[in-house]
């Protein structure tokens, strides 16, 4: 097949499609986020980085750009989706600043807003928004990161004094890795076990002052510093220990649980676990923001590596003087292009997630509607799944980009070291990825029923055995479109061309359904195996269960990409996105080729055709590689990479090379996508 | 199958097997390398790190521990293997120190020793050994890293003055990433095109002063600083530019090429490419050292993550109060144990490589024997392949260990951030891994014939078409043993138990042979395809060719592991290593399951049995996980990880947990390695 792609695609059309619903927020950021303190400073000390980031956070607050997610009556815009998109854009600048902002306005501010009630809003929201009240989100303890239901910090009510007693019972119960704690925080939202009238009602949150006006720790509060980290040097993570700290009764963030003066506990949600996970569920924005930020960093890394690879030459072709541009090597394309395709795919999936989250939260918080429990559980699962997918993709892709730039990629001046070090923690904070995969799997196994978003080790595995459930896949927004494509697949699976979108979708669907059904079957069998310890019932299948979650996420992402392509209006951009979507689908299938072979979905001959087809797609996309990163529309001054600045002649060379290839494709390097499998 | 492993294995026996031929060098390091400046300092500035590392390098020189590889008449021990082992041990301390030592005594000193002649040795070796003459190895240029044959720096002889003129013709020809350049270096071994009597004789090396006694740059030498890097902050990498610098004739390192006073060029090796790669070949130690050092860092990371995972608890088992030790989760075992198995495998392969290198170099440099060209090419290929395998394994494994330690793994105080950042560059320095894979592949395709170790893009791909070559696999040292095991495989392949070592070896062999034959066939076909550009002939097959190299390395490593197990004398240690070797073999096959299915070497049913067998091996090995890291025998004070120090009670808890599991295995969690494939 000769290339079906148009010779040129205007990246502005790609950008338009990517920008989507919150295009105005993205545009505003590109135009106005240019404070000189916002970019990483290479070789900066931890102390300097902290100072700079604190200073820039103030500038950011003054710009009013952090208030999108807060209620209108306090000066916000009640725009949940906008606030998350705004963080995603901030992540193109210094990631320390993004995390600092996320802590202050997302986690700390968000907790006060969503777990607190009117009196907390009136007393604190304005100061939080202006950064006059820097604060912490003190949930994680040294001993409990993933299993936050088991936090050891206690907060015990005494009706005699009408106060709570907040206490860290032992060293492993100290709050740890808390952003804003080591230097700036004046208050903290502290999570602890609420005990009143001798009964533990589970984890709740209190607003607790941790520093006085002069910045000194409050009495009985001990503050430690987590010191230098792998990255994010501008964020002052620290440790908090409470030695019987007195907290007034009205500092309980009491939206979901109240303690009366006499100590009587009330809540609209009776079940303790359900209540806790309802509280956590309101804080889903944090997880959504981390996923989006990981993708921003990935785009930046790809932008740098693609441009470098288009200018860098190494080794001459036989019989030629001029050396070869490294992006022309098949193996280099195999590194960059599938990563680019997946980055586009994840972008569309993230946009869909943000939109869903926005609509759900707006309905509840703005229009006072009842929470749709099923939709909320599904949202949390999607947020978890896409956080996992985007953060692991970031870790892998940024590493690959670093290596693709060789020694230059190891110098801080070329940005990649910061991107790598700063995003590294994303795979384990805001939920450890492995634990989050388990959450996703649990939702799939139970159909988002009675699930409460719990991250635990499955409790009674028996629930799977009890349930008779049809494994109907929950579809993304693109329901009708997807169904149409799947239904249109002609003939037998192994005769369908691999570029048939319906066939690709069917493969993703089949794998998810088969993996899920297999996991259910195995769990059910274990739960009736005499003498098998409950832990082993689950643990025996853990790898299979997590694989199920991964296949689910892959499908969600593909469907979102398909829908994204469908929304594009410019024909040239649509054609390019369509081919990129093929590459995402086929390289994902190729990565898990063993599974498809093992389950009879690919014959050995088809498997070879698959590899040949991926290689042919790489050839088709190669001339558009710069256009694809141009589509991210990252302002030049945000990149802060010396290799992109050093040689302005490179840009011209690059454009020339792409043009040359586009002209050559129909003749010189014509590709045949219907490669016979006999390689 | 109930566990066949003995209840306890003495790690000292593992250590003994691992320590091998240079056990005395390892012992000496463990006992004596305890200078307080040798460990990384967390949060240290670049300037402080550089100062500390320079200081400690001096201490190291004074200890006499750096002289192993130098000739006896200059105070060395002519022990090439010992010198590489010594660097590998140094890599357990601060990796900046390892790299600084590698630059000074390996690259710079090694180049003077091996490319220079008597007058250079007499004039400089003693000062190099004592660190009184810190120096650089100035090969890489900004524009040429991988393709060093195309360096642009020139050194032109003028018979009138009997001097050379060393010149950097343009910005991209400046020497870059040069260790010791930014701060300490007084001289540099500079690689440049030798031009005399109007003819270019290819790349040679000169000893060139770059700083005067006061540390100021020499006239016409411009020195730049590469500034902060992702890691290795203690190494002063810099840039060197030469503006017509005059270099006396006798500063040419003239072992392989001489220029007479009148400008006549002579060399014992006529072919220019061959000469250049012979020169490079003598410097193989550097590449061997990087591989070994990567493995040391990997061991350290695993040591930390395994111990943490044995103490860290998260989530309770159903019906139990106590939370579960995270090493008990199947998915955590799936992360740690295969990585541990591969680390052992690579250790044995590295030991074999060092031994081969030592014997070859001793024969040539000490006993004056002729170079065995075939053996030398094979050595270079092995060195390249194992450098690739060990450095990518390090990058992946250290990342995994970081994530396995959650937030704690992100704090510098727990060592993992330094291990990650410092080793990151290993995959692209001393040869970019992708380019090195190509070198390995080229050796396989040509049978190490007429290959010259060149890294180029294959030149005339036609050579493959011309050659009629039987693909006979070059075996490792364990020739007879391996053949015996392979020959003993009973019956049909798909009925053989997967724990049969002969079957495992046959799978690795089959894959390599098939991949190699396929690559040759495809290259041959392309070379006779009319109108196919020479570059495309090769590029079209590049992914296949690199895969061939990978399968080759995997086999070399498995064979070395098999031989290593064979050398163990303690029965308990042998049993444990044997099971670990099963895990390495089967998890490697599992990783490439698609290939084995695609090529009819696994049926779908066998593929499922494979997964079940790997899981069963994990259960068997779980109780010995601490023993396995104890086998690395890393002194406690080298670890410098706060999480290992904080809670001494952990050690006891850990040992107790292992013991508990070992007792329980035969009954409670009995595993059946002959799992039916119906999962």
Disruptive mutation site among B145, B327, B598, B608 for chain A (greatest number of A CBs within 10 Å): B598
CB pair distance less than 8 Å for B406 and A432: yes
Give the mean model confidence (pLDDT) for residues A101-130. 97
Q: Which residues pair with A223 in a beta bridge?
A: A240
Among B318, B323, B615, beta carbon nearest to A460: B318
pLDDT tens figures, B613-638: 999 999 999 999 999 999 999 999 99
Asked if residue B442 has pLDDT above 70, the reply is yes
Cβ within 8 Å of residue A637, ≥6 positions away: A34, A39
Mean pLDDT along residues B287-306: 98
Q: How far is B668 from chain A (nearest CA, A)?
A: 9
Cβ contacts (< 8 Å) between B412 and chain A: which residues?
A: 227-230
Contacts B546 to A, Cβ<8 Å: 331
In a mutational test of the A interface, the residue from B41, B151, B229, B429 whose CB has the highest number of chain A CBs within 10 Å is B229
Choose among B138, B243, B126, B116: nearest CA to B185.
Answer: B138
Q: How many CB pairs under 8 A join A and B?
A: 235
> When comparing pLDDT for B639 and B479, which is higher?
B639
**Domain assignment present for B396:** yes
Residues B488 and B558 in one domain: yes
- Interface contact flag, A229 B411, Cβ < 8 Å: yes
- Output the domain CATH number for residue B18: 1.10.540.10
**Of the given ranges (A598-612, B527-541, B631-645), which has the lowest mean pLDDT?**
B527-541
Sign of the alpha-carbon torsion through A657, A662, A668, A670: positive
**Per-residue pLDDT averaged across B534-560, rounded?**
94
Question: Reduced to 3 DSSP states, what percent helix, strand and coil does chain B have, rounded to the nearest 5?
Answer: 60, 10, 30
Q: What angle do CA A548, A551, A556 make, to 5 degrees?
A: 125
Higher pLDDT, B527 or B462: B527
In angstroms, the Cα distances linking A88 to A97, A343, A347, A354, B437 are 12, 14, 11, 11, 38
pLDDT reading at A658 higher than 60 = yes
Q: Give B334's contacts in chain A (Cβ within 8 Å).
A: 543
Statement: residue A470 has pLDDT above 60: no
Residues B187, B290: one domain? no
Q: In sequence order, what are the residues at sequence separation of 6 or more whose Cβ sits closer than 8 angstroms to the Cβ of residue B163? A: B157, B246, B247, B248, B249
Q: How far apart are the C-alpha atoms of B675 and B679, rounded to whole Å?
A: 9
List the single residue in A with minimal CA-CA distance to B599: A604
A669 to B536: CB separation less than 8 angstroms, yes or no: yes
Distance from CA of B523 to the nearest CA of A (A): 11
Domain that holds residue A143: 136-270
- Return the percentage of chain A with pLDDT > 90, whole number: 76
Question: Between chains, do A318 and B458 touch, taking CB under 8 Å as contact?
Answer: yes
Shared-domain flag, residues B142 and B125: no
Residues of chain B with pLDDT > 70, as a percent, come to: 89
In chain A, residues with a C-beta closer than 8 Å to the C-beta of B522 are: 679
State the CB neighbour count (10 A cutoff) for residue A373: 16
Q: State how far the Cα of A323 lies from the Cα of A325, in Å rounded to an integer.
A: 7
pLDDT tens across B230-263, in order? 999 999 999 999 999 999 999 999 999 999 999 9
Q: Is B1 among the domain residues?
A: no
Q: Which residues of A touch B604 (CB under 8 A)?
A: 597-600
Do B272 and B362 belong together in one domain?
A: no
Residue B673 near residue B613 (C-beta atoms within 8 A): yes
pLDDT attached to residue A314: 86
* Domain assignment of residue A275, yes or no: no
Answer yes or no: is B2 within a domain: no
- Residue B417 pairs in a beta bridge with none
With cut-offs at 50, 70 and 90, classify the pLDDT of residue A365.
confident
Task: Kindly give, in sequence order, each residue whose CB lies less than 8 Å from that of residue A75, ignoring residues fewer than 6 positions away.
Answer: A64, A67, A126, A129
- pLDDT of A340: 98
Which of A172, A230, A671 is the best residue to mutate to test the B interface, defined by the most B CB atoms within 10 Å of its own CB? Answer: A230
pLDDT confidence of residue B479: 77
Does B271 share its domain with B321?
no
Contacts of A43 in chain B (CB under 8 A): 46, 227-228
* Residue A163 distance to chain B (closest CA, Å): 31
Instruction: Give the gap in angstroms from C-alpha A587 to the nearest C-alpha of chain B.
Output: 14
Cβ-Cβ contacts under 8 Å for B397 (sequence gap 6 or more): B298, B301, B302, B339, B342, B343
Q: Which residues of B touch A323 (CB under 8 A)?
A: 147, 150
**Closest alpha carbon within chain B to A608:** B598
Residue where a domain terminates, one of B110, B135, B160: B135
> First and final CA of chain B: distance in angstroms?
17
Looking at beta carbons, which residues of chain B come within 8 Å of A526?
none
Q: Which residue has the tokens 């649990």?
A: A442
In this prediction, residue B322 has a pLDDT band, given cuts at 50, 70 and 90, of confident
In a domain, A474, yes or no: no
d(CA A332, CA B589): 25
Residue A656 Cα distances to A311, A325, A642, A653, A671, angstroms: 10, 12, 22, 5, 21
Measured CA to CA, the distance from residue A297 to residue A294 in angstroms comes to: 5
pLDDT of residue B657: 61
Q: How confident is the model at residue A471 (pLDDT cuts 50, 70, 90)?
A: low
pLDDT the model gives residue B677? 40
Q: What is the pLDDT of residue B317?
A: 78
* pLDDT tens for each residue of B92-131: 999 999 999 999 999 999 999 999 999 999 999 999 999 9
β-partners of residue A164 are A157, A247
Give A309 to chain B, closest Cα distance, Å. 12
The reply to whether residue A457 touches residue B316, judged by beta carbons under 8 angstroms, is yes
Structure tokens at B492: 């049909």
Q: In this structure, what CATH number is given to the domain that contains residue A165?
A: 2.40.110.10
A230 → closest Cβ in B412, B535, B543: B412
d(CA B89, CA A239): 36
- From chain B, pick out residues whose CB is under 8 angstroms from the CB of A319: 534
A218 in the same domain as A189: yes
What's the structural domain count of chain B? 3
- What integer is the mean pLDDT of A250-257? 97
Q: Do A594 and B607 lie within an 8 Å CB cutoff? A: yes
- The domain that holds B356 is classified in CATH as 1.20.140.10
* B273 and B341 housed in the same domain: no
The answer to which of A289-293, B460-464, B551-555 has the lowest mean pLDDT is: B460-464
Q: Which of A406, A615, A668 lies at the smallest CB-CB distance from B145?
A: A406
Percent of chain A whose pLDDT exceeds 70: 89
CB-CB contact of B239 with B178 (8 Å) = yes
Chain A residues with CB under 8 Å of B413 CB are: 227-228
Contact assignment for A317 to B144 by CB distance below 8 Å: no
Residue B215 pLDDT > 90: yes
- What letter would DSSP give residue B602? S
- Mean pLDDT in residue range A215-227: 97
Please compute the mean of the pLDDT values over residues A463-480 and round it to a whole number: 60
Residues B348-368, mean pLDDT to the nearest whole number: 94
Test the B interface: residue of A170, A227, A396, A407 with most B CBs within 10 Å: A407
Contact criterion met (CB < 8 Å) for B461 and A318: yes
Residue B245 sits in the same domain as residue B341: no
Mean pLDDT across the stretch A3-22?
Answer: 94
Residues B31 and B154 in one domain: no
- Determine whether the interchain pair B604/A599 forms a contact, defined as Cβ–Cβ distance below 8 Å: yes
| pLDDT band, residue A450 (cuts 50/70/90) | low
User: Would you place residue B672 in the very low, low, confident or very high pLDDT band (cuts 50, 70, 90)?
Assistant: very low
Give me the pLDDT at residue A679, please: 34
Asked if A227 and B421 come within 8 Å (Cβ–Cβ), the reply is: no
pLDDT exceeds 50 at position A100: yes
The pLDDT, as a whole number, for residue B474 is 66
Q: Which residue has the higher pLDDT, B467 or A606?
A: A606
From chain A, pick out residues whose CB is under 8 angstroms from the CB of B611: 543
Domain boundary among A103, A134, A165: A134
B6 inside domain = no
pLDDT at B38 over 90: yes
Q: What is the predicted pLDDT for the residue at A667?
A: 34
Q: Which residue of A has its CA nearest to B332?
A: A434
Going by pLDDT thresholds of 50, 70 and 90, the confidence category of residue B366 is confident
The average pLDDT across A305-323 equals 86
Q: Which of A399, A534, A546 sits opposite B317 (nearest CB)?
A: A534
Question: Residue A331: which of B536, B543, B604 has the nearest Cβ?
Answer: B543
Structure confidence at residue A671 as a pLDDT band (50, 70, 90): very low
- Interchain contact, B546 vs A331, CB within 8 Å: yes
Q: Which of B406, B416, B593 sits opposite A594 (nearest CB)?
A: B593
Instruction: Tell me, yes or no, whether A585 lies in a domain.
Output: yes
Instruction: Give A356 to chain B, closest Cα distance, Å.
Output: 30
Looking at residue A139, its pLDDT comes to: 97
Contact A410 B597 (CB under 8 A): no
| Among candidates A334, A433, A594 on the partner chain, residue whose Cβ is nearest the Cβ of B597 | A594
Contacts with B540 from chain A: Cβ below 8 Å = 330, 615
Give pLDDT, residue A399.
Answer: 98
Partners of B409 on chain A (C-beta within 8 Å) are 428
Residues B21 and B48 in one domain: yes
Kindly state the DSSP code that residue A21 receives in the 8-state scheme. G
The answer as to whether A445 is a domain residue is yes
> A244 and A146, same structural domain?
yes
- Give residue-wise pLDDT tens across range A557-574: 999 999 999 999 999 999
A412 to chain B: closest CA residue: B229
Query: Residue B141: its pLDDT value, please?
Result: 96
Per-residue confidence (pLDDT) for residue B662, from 0 to 100: 64
Q: Which ranges of B227-329 does DSSP label H, i.e. alpha helix?
A: 272-281, 284-311
Q: Which residues of A touch B603 (CB under 8 A)?
A: none
Domain's final residue, options A239, A270, A301: A270
Residues B130 and B265 in one domain: no
- Answer yes or no: is pLDDT of B676 > 50: no
Nearest to A318 among B315, B410, B534 (CB): B534
Neighbours of B258 (CB within 10 A): 15
Contact B412 A334 (CB under 8 A): no
Is pLDDT larger for residue A277 or for residue B197?
B197
The mean-pLDDT minimum among A161-165, A601-605, B148-152, B401-405 falls in B148-152
Q: Could you tell me which chain B residue has the CA closest to the CA of A316?
A: B457
């Amino acid at each position: 097949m000769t290339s079906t792609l148009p010779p040129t695609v205007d990246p502005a059309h790609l950008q338009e499609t990517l920008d989507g619903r919150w295009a105005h927020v993205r545009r505003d950021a590109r135009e106005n986020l240019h404070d000189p303190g916002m970019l990483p400073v290479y070789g900066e000390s931890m102390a300097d980085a902290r100072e700079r980031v604190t200073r820039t956070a103030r500038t950011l607050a003054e710009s009013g750009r952090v208030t999108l997610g807060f209620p209108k009556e306090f000066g916000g815009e009640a725009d949940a989706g906008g606030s998350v998109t705004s963080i995603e854009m901030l992540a193109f600048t210094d990631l320390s600043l993004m995390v600092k902002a996320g802590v202050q306005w997302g986690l700390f501010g968000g907790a006060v807003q969503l777990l607190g009630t009117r009196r907390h809003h009136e007393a604190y929201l304005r100061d939080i928004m202006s950064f006059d009240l820097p604060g912490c989100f003190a949930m994680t303890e040294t001993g409990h990161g993933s299993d936050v239901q088991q936090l050891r910090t206690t907060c015990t009510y005494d009706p005699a004094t009408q106060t709570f007693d907040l206490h860290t019972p032992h060293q492993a119960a100290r709050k740890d890795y808390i952003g804003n704690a080591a230097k700036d925080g004046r208050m903290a939202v502290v999570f602890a076990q609420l005990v009143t009238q001798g009964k533990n009602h589970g984890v709740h949150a209190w607003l607790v002052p941790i520093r006085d006006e002069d910045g000194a720790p409050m009495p009985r509060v001990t503050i430690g510093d987590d010191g230098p980290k792998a990255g994010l040097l501008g964020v002052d993570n620290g440790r908090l220990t409470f030695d019987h700290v007195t907290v007034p009764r009205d500092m309980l963030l009491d939206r979901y649980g109240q303690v009366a003066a006499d100590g009587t506990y009330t809540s609209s949600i009776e079940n303790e676990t359900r209540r806790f996970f309802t509280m956590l569920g309101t804080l889903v924005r944090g997880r959504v923001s981390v996923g989006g930020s990981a993708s921003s960093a990935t785009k930046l890394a790809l932008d740098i590596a693609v441009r470098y690879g288009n200018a860098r030459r190494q080794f001459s072709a036989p019989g030629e003087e001029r050396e070869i541009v490294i992006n022309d090597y098949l193996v280099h394309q195999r590194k960059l292009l599938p990563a680019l395709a997946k980055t586009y795919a994840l972008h569309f999936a993230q946009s869909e997630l943000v939109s869903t989250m926005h609509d759900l939260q707006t309905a509840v918080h703005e229009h006072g509607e009842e929470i749709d429990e099923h939709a909320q559980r599904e949202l949390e699962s999607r947020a978890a799944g896409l956080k996992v997918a985007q953060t692991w993709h970031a870790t892998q892709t940024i590493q690959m980009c670093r290596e693709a730039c060789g020694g230059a990629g190891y110098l801080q001046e070329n940005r990649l070291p910061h991107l790598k070090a700063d995003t590294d923690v994303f795979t384990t904070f805001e939920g450890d990825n492995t634990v989050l995969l388990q959450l996703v799997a649990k939702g799939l196994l139970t159909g988002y029923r009675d699930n409460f978003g719990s991250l635990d080790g499955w409790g009674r595995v028996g629930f799977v055995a009890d349930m008779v459930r049809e494994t109907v896949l929950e579809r993304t927004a693109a329901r009708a479109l997807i169904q149409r494509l799947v239904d249109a697949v002609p003939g037998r699976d192994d005769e369908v061309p691999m570029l048939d979108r319906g066939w690709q979708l069917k493969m993703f669907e089949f794998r998810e359904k088969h993996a899920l059904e297999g996991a259910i079957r195995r769990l059910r069998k274990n739960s009736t195996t005499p003498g098998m310890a409950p832990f082993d019932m689950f643990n025996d299948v853990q790898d299979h269960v997590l694989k199920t979650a991964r296949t689910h996420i892959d499908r969600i992402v593909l469907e979102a990409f398909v829908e994204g392509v469908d929304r594009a209006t410019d024909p040239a951009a649509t054609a390019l996105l369509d081919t990129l979507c093929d590459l995402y689908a086929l390289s994902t299938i190729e990565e898990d080729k063993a599974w498809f072979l093992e389950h009879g979905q690919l014959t050995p001959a088809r498997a070879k055709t698959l590899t040949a087809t991926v290689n042919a797609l790489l050839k088709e996309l190669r001339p558009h590689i710069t256009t694809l990163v141009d589509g991210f529309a990252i302002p030049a001054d945000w990149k802060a990479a010396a290799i992109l600045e050093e040689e302005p002649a490179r840009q011209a060379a690059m454009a020339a090379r792409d043009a040359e290839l586009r002209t050559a494709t129909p003749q010189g390097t014509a590709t045949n996508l219907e490669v016979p499998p006999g390689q």
